[in-house]
């Protein structure tokens, strides 16, 4: 199997990629009169001019009245193996639009820099920029975007991502521990089949090497483009055991954090990713994870119950609480 043909990419001599996208893009639409059938309005806001990053903001359509209760905000990071797609891609624009309308919530989809033109930690740096942007919106209401100023409850902020975006959301929350985010409150991380991989291949990877949805050579190719000075087969994708140990120590200090691990049952990459992740984390740090599990239930009480239920129902996810299970090697 040719991973380049499968991913529709071509590696250029300068190290960049030519991406032959087969997924169409969707322009933003912020005028309610021109978008009567759209579940949410959208517009693009620049974050970092030097890095050429931006955010696509989604507001339920029709917009809530100024007297209505303010909405949670979800900082969303799209998937694509760190190398593909943007918030304008159809497969991410439409879910974010539906998510904003049906929860309801304000969704801010981050257009982070892609590898290999910008290898990690560039995407993590862009995630931090998006958090600082959100803080500036809360800190300076007179200069903030009207959608943010009029409709966002900064006490209910969430980080969300799927696949590679789940990985970015995870490390964004980790880095947030070193930031002064006193004007916003991160209530939790929502990870949809997050992409955590490494050098040692699991049984499911070897058994499903030619999987129709995401074959192993494609995963390996993504890894070779993503990591700094990566070499195929020798470098982990974004997470190493040392990072995991550091991560759990730091996340133990997150008070009131809601950690939601969401997995689609038919995606074998979810089983591979979570087995690898929890094998190192769950078995070593079960006391820490037990405290995180207790914080999860406390957060469900603190947060709007309706919000949590709608999120699970409308995304069609299964919520797996693997936090308290030390027998991670036998789960799959």
Q: How far apart are CA 318 and CA 163, in angstroms?
A: 15
Q: How confident is the model at residue 38 (pLDDT cuts 50, 70, 90)?
A: confident
Residue 189 neighbours by CB under 8 Å, 6+ apart = 158, 159, 160, 169, 170, 173, 257, 258, 259, 260
Question: Which carries the bigger pLDDT value, residue 190 or residue 274?
Answer: 190
The three-state secondary structure class of 34 is: helix
Q: What is the pLDDT of residue 316?
A: 35
Q: How far apart are CA 51 and CA 74, in angstroms?
A: 22
Q: How confident is the model at residue 285 (pLDDT cuts 50, 70, 90)?
A: very low
Question: What residue ranges do the domains of the chain occupy?
Answer: 3-330
pLDDT at 307 over 60: no
pLDDT at 216 over 70: yes
CATH class of the region 3-330: alpha beta
* Average of per-residue pLDDT across 255-270: 41
pLDDT at 116 over 90: yes
pLDDT at 286 over 50: no
Q: What is the pLDDT of residue 229?
A: 59
Q: What is the pTM of this model?
A: 0.76
Least confident of 135-149, 176-190, 241-255: 241-255
* Average of per-residue pLDDT across 112-120: 94
Q: How far apart are CA 87 and CA 94, in angstroms?
A: 10
pLDDT at 126 over 80: yes
Q: How confident is the model at residue 3 (pLDDT cuts 50, 70, 90)?
A: confident
Q: How far is CA 291 from CA 157, 199, 246, 284, in A?
A: 21, 30, 17, 14
pLDDT at 98 over 80: yes
Q: What is the pLDDT of residue 251?
A: 53
Question: What proportion of the chain, given as a percentage, has pLDDT over 70?
Answer: 67
* Average of per-residue pLDDT across 119-128: 94
Measured N-to-C along each axis, helices 164-176 and 122-139 cross at an angle, to the nearest 10 degrees, of 60
Q: How confident is the model at residue 220 (pLDDT cuts 50, 70, 90)?
A: confident
């Amino acid at each position: 199997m040719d991973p380049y043909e499968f991913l529709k990419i071509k590696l250029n001599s300068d190290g960049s990629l030519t991406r032959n996208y087969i997924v169409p893009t969707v322009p933003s639409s912020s005028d309610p009169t021109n978008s009567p059938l759209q579940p949410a309005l959208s517009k693009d806001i620049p974050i970092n001019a030097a890095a050429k990053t931006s955010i696509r903001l989604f507001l339920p359509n029709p917009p809530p009245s100024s007297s209505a209760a303010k909405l949670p905000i979800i900082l969303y990071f799209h998937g694509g193996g760190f190398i593909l797609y943007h918030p304008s891609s159809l497969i991410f624009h439409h879910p974010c639009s539906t998510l904003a309308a049906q929860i309801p919530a304000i969704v801010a989809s981050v257009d982070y820099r892609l590898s290999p033109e910008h290898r990690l930690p560039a995407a993590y740096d862009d995630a931090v920029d998006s958090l600082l942007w959100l803080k500036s919106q809360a800190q300076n209401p007179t200069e903030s975007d009207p959608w943010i100023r009029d409709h966002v409850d900064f006490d209910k902020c969430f980080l969300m991502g799927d696949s590679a975006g789940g990985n970015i959301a995870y490390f964004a929350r980790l880095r947030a521990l070193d930031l002064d985010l006193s004007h916003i409150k991160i209530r939790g991380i929502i990870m949809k089949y997050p992409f955590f991989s490494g050098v040692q291949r699991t049984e499911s990877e070897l058994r499903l090497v030619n999987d129709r949805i995401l074959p192993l050579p494609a995963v390996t190719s993504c890894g070779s483009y993503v990591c700094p000075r990566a070499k195929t087969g020798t470098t982990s994708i974004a997470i190493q055991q040392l990072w995991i140990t550091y991560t759990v120590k730091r996340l133990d200090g997150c008070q009131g954090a809601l950690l939601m691990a969401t997995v689609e049952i038919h995606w074998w990459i979810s089983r591979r990713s979570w087995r690898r992740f929890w094998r190192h984390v769950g078995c070593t740090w079960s006391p820490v994870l037990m405290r995180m599990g207790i914080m999860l239930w406390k957060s469900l009480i603190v947060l709007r119950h309706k919000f949590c239920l709608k999120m699970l129902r409308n995304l069609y996810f299964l919520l797996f609480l693997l936090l308290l299970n030390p027998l991670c090697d036998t789960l799959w």
